[in-house]
Structure 1
Amino acid sequence: FTGRAEGLSISFEAHLLGSKVEFDEEAGTLVIKGLPTQLLDQLKRNK
């Protein structure tokens, strides 16, 4: 799956849906579990 909008780009493999990526259709949200280390480090530095 892949998508882009307003400065945001997301892609993930279909087999991750339901395990590492949870989709709430009603709310229109994704929850990502087990963030990549590089992304997690960047987020922590930018608090």
Structure 2
Amino acid sequence: MSISKIRSILYKAAKILGDVNAVRKGRIKQRIKNRVVGKFVGKRIFK
């Protein structure tokens, strides 16, 4: 397994754990907003 594959798996796991943590703390709306804004900004900057 390559390093990039392991890195990809770790990033996906971190994203899922962040979502679980947001649900537990009752901040799911803020989490969704940040994910949407982050995706939009990422596409604009790295286009």
Alignment TM class, shorter chain as reference: under 0.3
TM-score normalised to the size of structure 1?
Answer: 0.26
TM-score normalised to the size of structure 2?
Answer: 0.26
Which structure has the greater CA radius of gyration?
2
